[in-house]
Amino acid sequence: MLDVAVAYNRYRFLGNEFLTWLWFMIDTRQDQLREFVEGITALEIGNRIDLENRRDDKVERITIKGDDADLKEGYLALRKGALVTDLNLVFRSANFRWQFNIKGESLNISALKTPETAPPENEEDTEAVALEKISLHEQITKLLETAFRRFVHLRTTETWNGATVAQIHQWLSSP
Amino acid sequence: MGLLSSTVSITRYRVQGDLQKPVLETVANGLKKYTIAEIDDDAVEKSVGWTSFEKPYAPDFSGSSFVIGPYLIFSLRIDKKNISPKLVKKQYAIEANRRLTRTGRQFISGSEKKIIQEQVLNLLSLKIPATPNVYDLVWNLENRSLWYYTNLKTANEELESLFSTSFALSLIRMFPYTSAALTADLSDSQKDILERLAPVDFRT
């Protein structure tokens, strides 16, 4: 295995490709997401997408913000070679809703809002609420781990170059 | 931002290495040995150590108080005295003037300036209380995973260092490469491909 510090920088593109692939899956393969992510009802793009185009020795950054924002500029940036660097997602399971950000280069989770839990009323209650919170957070760490594992398996097989890249091109070419 | 907050940030880690048995006793010993030291009455600017999840300002690791269900839950506390440079400058000027008046001299030597600066810092460190920052963590011994409830770089670095000192274990952050290499169950040929991977071009 590579040195951790070297690997962080060398493979930051992999996390950005993952988020870009995830957007493609959300747009075109909800059925597959339901198959491999336990307990999922839907996964949606939330209220923010950050993109970065590092090609041709220039760095161009685009941010799309707001509920129900028009994503056209995002698709256009992808067509020009940008990748998603930060993605806000909404995860739904039955009637419950989670919202959070994933950063491509670190796969860190931030601004994670889970379905509400009752505040602890006494010390004994704190342990029960902590376990409930952990279980709610686990939904998102599991989603991230499962989806990333799926992506990496695709990315390190012939299917990636043979089919997935073409499917993503097709997605981006469609109006 | 802690485990019970309505909005949280999580940095995911994998714990590498094995704890000495009995495991809970080893963890408790590490926590007790490196419990946060109070510095309000000392001329110390920063203190880093473990504290209890439920009582972060009265750490107590007796019994198995840090075991909740299948998890070990405790917190890292970083206490820091934020001494304003402007305040240091003001106190330095007051002290320097006092010395000049007392001795009748016109100037203060370079070495004396340094001594006054250190005295001022020590005095302020004693007077100013430390600001605590508490970061919770959830450690799952069974699957060797650890969630740390912050993404702050300095807080992550403090955790990695103190964890290694306390338990003789390494923490590996789960970013794209480490997630792929350590937890994605790739075959040997896939790992070879991963080592040679180059960015893909999605341009149309």
Q: What's the pLDDT score for residue A114?
A: 96
Backbone angles phi, psi at B188, to 5 degrees: -60, -40
Residue B12 has pLDDT above 80, yes or no: yes
CB B74 within 8 A of CB B3: no
| Mean pLDDT on A143-168 | 94
Domain span at residue A54 reads 4-173
Q: Is A13 on the interface with B (CB under 8 A)?
A: yes
3-class DSSP assignment, residue A88: strand
Q: Kindly provide the ipTM of the predicted complex, given to two decimals.
A: 0.93
Q: Which of A10, A111, A172 sits opposite B204 (nearest CB)?
A: A172
Residue type, B93: A
| Mean pLDDT on B119-129 | 90
Mean predicted lDDT score pLDDT of chain A: 92
Cα–Cα distance, A148 to A37 (Å, whole number):
11
Q: What's the pLDDT score for residue B171?
A: 96
Q: What's the pLDDT score for residue B105?
A: 87
Question: Which range is least confidently modeled, A53-62, B35-44, B112-121?
Answer: A53-62
Question: Which range is least confidently modeled, A33-37, A128-132, A171-175, B97-101?
Answer: A171-175
Residues of A in contact with B193 (CB under 8 A): 156-157
**Partners of B15 in beta bridges:** B171
Map out the domains of chain B as residue ranges.
Answer: 11-82+128-196, 85-124
Q: Convert the pLDDT of each residue in B127-151 to its tens digit.
A: 899 999 999 999 999 999 999 999 9
Mean predicted lDDT score pLDDT of chain B: 93
The DSSP element (H or E) to which B16 belongs, if any, is: strand B7-16
Residue type, B79: D
B interface with A, Cβ–Cβ below 8 Å: 3-4, 6-12, 53-54, 68-69, 71, 73, 138, 147, 151, 172-186, 190-191, 193-195, 197, 199-204
Q: What's the pLDDT score for residue A4?
A: 83
Query: How close A13 gets to chain B, by Cα (Å)?
Result: 6
Residue whose C-alpha is closest to residue A26's, from A171, A138, A131, A134 = A171
The residues near A35 (Cβ < 8 Å, ≥ 6 apart) are none
Q: Is A26 on the interface with B (CB under 8 A)?
A: no
Question: Which range is least confidently modeled, A114-123, B80-89, B112-121?
Answer: A114-123
The DSSP element (H or E) to which B76 belongs, if any, is: strand B71-80
- A 10 A CB-CB count for A63 gives 14
Cα–Cα distance, B172 to B18 (Å, whole number):
14
Reported confidence tier of residue A12, pLDDT bands at 50, 70, 90:
very high
Which bin fits B63, alpha (ψ -120 to 50), beta or left (φ > 0)? left
| Mean pLDDT on B3-32 | 96
Token pair of B3 as six digits: 């485990």
The answer to whether the Cβ–Cβ distance between A17 and B199 falls below 8 Å is yes
The answer to whether the Cβ–Cβ distance between A107 and B190 falls below 8 Å is no
Q: Convert the pLDDT of each residue in A65-121 to its tens digit.
A: 998 888 889 999 999 999 999 999 999 999 999 999 999 999 999 999 999 988 888
Q: Convert the pLDDT of each residue in B33-72 to its tens digit.
A: 999 999 988 888 899 999 999 999 999 998 888 999 999 9
Q: What's the pLDDT score for residue A54?
A: 85
Cα–Cα distance, B145 to B174 (Å, whole number):
10
Query: How close B172 gets to chain A, by Cα (Å)?
Result: 8
The share of chain B scoring above pLDDT 90, in percent, equals 79
Q: What's the pLDDT score for residue B41?
A: 85
Please, what is the angle between helix B153-167 and helix B23-33, to 10°?
120
3-class DSSP assignment, residue B56: coil
3-class DSSP assignment, residue B201: coil
CA-CA distances (angstroms) from residue A26 to A21, A94, A104, B94, B203? 9, 17, 16, 65, 19
CB B16 within 8 A of CB B170: yes
Q: What is the DSSP string of A17-61?
A: HHHHHHHHHHHH-HHHHHHHSTT-SEEEEEEEEEEEE-GGG--EE
- A 10 A CB-CB count for A20 gives 23
CB B92 within 8 A of CB B84: no
Domain count, chain A: 1
The share of chain A scoring above pLDDT 70, in percent, equals 99
Cα–Cα distance, A16 to A21 (Å, whole number):
9
CA-CA distances (angstroms) from residue A105 to A19, A63, A78, A169, B15? 10, 16, 17, 23, 20
Partner B, chain A 110-129, Cβ-Cβ below 8 Å: 110-113, 116, 120, 123, 126-127, 129
Residue A175 has pLDDT above 80, yes or no: no
Q: What is the DSSP string of B23-40?
A: HHHHHHHHHHHTBPPP-T
Reported confidence tier of residue B1, pLDDT bands at 50, 70, 90:
low
Residue whose C-alpha is closest to residue A127's, from B64, B8, B10, B34 = B64
Q: Is A76 on the interface with B (CB under 8 A)?
A: no
Q: What's the pLDDT score for residue B203?
A: 83
Q: What's the pLDDT score for residue A170?
A: 93
CB B188 within 8 A of CB A143: no
DSSP state of B130: P
